[in-house]
Structure formats: structure tokens, C-alpha cells
Structure 1
């Protein structure tokens, strides 16, 4: 009896490893797509954001959710719209980015407080968290790597011309795709081609 229990724990460990690798591979693939098609990614994120804002209005009309959750959710979506104005360039020190992060934390606190005090089935709770709280911030997080290979423009810094700006930022790549590329190069063995 104990052996089968031990096998179950080992099986769960293997499943967690497979799920983690699958999520990492999916994130890597999404980051590559966003980097390649940044304009289409901006449109897709804009429509996701618009849809979630509309869903907040429907939630206010048809359900009995607290107004603080609805107002903070809509304010978070407004911050996301403002972040999309300079897409794919995202300044981490911009007020809209900072307010967006603050609203994500506040919305999670309000949601946990509400669902702890009011019973809803688990499917409704996970639907709220997935659509209302995680979808747009996750899409913006994945799209942070799109800034790595964007052609230089003068919109990033007004005191430098486009070429100087490009040369000064060329070696500074910070993003999800850069992290995954570094992990791939450092953790996975390189295959060598045989020359005949």
C-alpha cells in the first residue's frame, strides 16, 4: 500500500515538471510571436482590454458585485489602455505602469475579500480571476519582450536622435524572450553540426 502512495507522489512531481516545461515553452512561443508581430499584438491586447472593460460594465449591470471592485477594475483597464499608447515600448517608471501594477494588487485584494465573504462556485471564481484580473496584465507581461528588437525611434527619449538611442540601448535587452533565450542557451546543451 505504501509503495503505490509513493508512486503517486512521484507521478505528481513528474506532472508538475511537465506542466512547468509546457508553460515555459508556451510563454517562449508567445513571446516570439509578439516580438515578430508587435502591431498585431497591440491590436489584440487593445481588443482584449476593450472586451474586459465591457465585461466589467456587464458585471455591474447584471450581478451584485461591490462597486469598489467594478470601479477599480475599470480604472485598471484605463491604465492598460494608457500603457498601450506607446506599445511596444513600455517605461517601467511611467505613472500608468505603476498605477496599473497597483490596481492589479488592489483588485486581487478586493476579489479575495469579496469571494471569502460571499459564496460562489469555484468555476465562477476562477472565471473572474482569469478574465477580469489576469488576461490583460498577462498579455502585457508577455509583450514586454517585443521592445527588445523594435526599430529605434525618437519617441523613447527626446534628447537623443534615433541612431544614438539605438546604439546606447543595443546591448541592454530586458524582457521575457531575452530571459528564455538566456535560459535556453545556458541550460540546454548545444548541438554541433558534423562536417563531412
Structure 2
């Protein structure tokens, strides 16, 4: 994808006569973005290539924004240029970093267990951890249900540990289901 975007930069220089040095700066930005591929998908938020990429995406945006403010073009041309030549590669990296690593397909399902737990965290949790903020654990604990759920609803005897309002709700619901089946 980066090579395609670089080819678009070349075509824009040749056919649309966009400024050479601004296009060269964008090409250099894409070179810095590609340095993140060395350790991809495990990118350290404090590494020099990642921090440089964050700065350069804003610099590239404002460089081209100033150019298009001085040289008016149709809106769709400007929007297409920004979408493909300025934002596509950085946003693609950002979106792929925020994906859950365990959701990626692996040839060996046990390989996910060899990844250190520090690297299994998503981008947002890593960023909040770097800023010193604690992430919250899930509010609802999950449990494993071993019995057949449909049979537990049909039972008229209340389960151990259920409150009386929940028991009466499920007992009334199961009676209504049984009455509907009979009718």
C-alpha cells in the first residue's frame, strides 16, 4: 500500500505539477512510517519511529493544508489527495495497532500464549498505561455455565443462590412457556 501511495506521489508530480519539495517531504514521511514495520504489530509507543511518525503526520497535514489554502482546487480533489496521500498509511497503522492481537488469525493457536502479556494489551490500554492512568476491569464478572440453560428456565424448582424475585420471575416465565406449548 505504501508503494502505491508513493507511486501516486510520483504521478502527481509529473501530471499535476504539485510542488516537488512538498511531495519529497511526503515521501520522506512515508519512509519514516515504514520504519514501524520492523517490529509490527508490536510497536513501542515510546520508540523513535513511532514518535516521529506521530509528529510527521501532523506536519505533512499542515504543509499540504497551507498549500491548498494558497492554491485553490476543487474540494473533491483536495479531499482525495488528503485521503490517499496524507492520511491513508498513518490511519491504517493506527487502526491495525488497535486491533486485538488475539483476534488475528494464527497458524498455531498456542502461539498467542507465547506473546508476553505486556504486548497483548491494545493500543488504548498501552497509551493509558504510559500516561499513568489505570484501566478499569470489566464491571460484570463472567462465569462458566455448565448446565443447559433451556432446562434451567423450564424447571419449577428455584436454583440455589437466586433471589426470590428472580425465582418468581423465572418460575412465572417457565409456566407461561409451558402453557403456550400446551395451547
**TM superposition outliers: structure 1 runs of 4+ over 4 Å:** none
Please report how far the alpha carbon of residue 134 of structure 1 lies from its aligned counterpart in structure 2 after TM superposition: 1.2
Please report how far the alpha carbon of residue 176 of structure 1 lies from its aligned counterpart in structure 2 after TM superposition: 5.6
Q: Output the CA distance in 1 between the equivalents of 2:2 and 2:65.
A: 22
Q: Greater share of helix residues, 1 or 2? A: 1
Pair 177,123 (structure 1): closer, same or farther in 2 beyond 3 Å:
farther
The answer to whether the Cα contact below 8 Å between 2:99 and 2:122 also exists between their aligned partners in 1 is no
Which secondary structure state, in structure 2, belongs to the residue aligned with residue 80 of structure 1? Answer: helix
- Which residue of structure 2 lines up, in the alignment, with residue 122 of structure 1? 75
Which secondary structure state, in structure 2, belongs to the residue aligned with residue 112 of structure 1? Answer: helix
Structure 2, unmatched stretches of 5+, are 105-110, 127-134, 140-148, 154-183
Residue 34 of structure 2 is aligned to residue 99 of structure 1: no
Q: Output the CA distance in 1 between the equivalents of 2:78 and 2:59.
A: 17
Residue 121 of structure 2 is aligned to residue 173 of structure 1: yes
Number of aligned pairs? 129
Pair 148,176 (structure 1): closer, same or farther in 2 beyond 3 Å:
farther
Q: Output the CA distance in 1 between the equivalents of 2:100 and 2:37.
A: 12
Which among 16, 22, 25 is matched to residue 72 of structure 1? 25
- Which structure has more RCO (C-alpha within 8 Å, separation ≥ 6)? 1
The answer to whether the Cα contact below 8 Å between 1:145 and 1:174 also exists between their aligned partners in 2 is yes
Structure 1, unmatched stretches of 5+, are 1-47, 153-161, 187-192
Normalised to the residue count of structure 1, the TM-score between the two structures is 0.55
Please report how far the alpha carbon of residue 147 of structure 1 lies from its aligned counterpart in structure 2 after TM superposition: 6.5
The answer to whether the Cα contact below 8 Å between 1:88 and 1:146 also exists between their aligned partners in 2 is no
1:50-69 Cα distance to aligned partner (Å, 9 max, x none): 11011111112222212232
The answer to whether the Cα contact below 8 Å between 2:29 and 2:53 also exists between their aligned partners in 1 is yes
- Which residue of structure 1 lines up, in the alignment, with residue 129 of structure 2? none
Q: Output the CA distance in 1 between the equivalents of 2:81 and 2:44.
A: 28
CA RMSD of aligned residues (A): 3.4
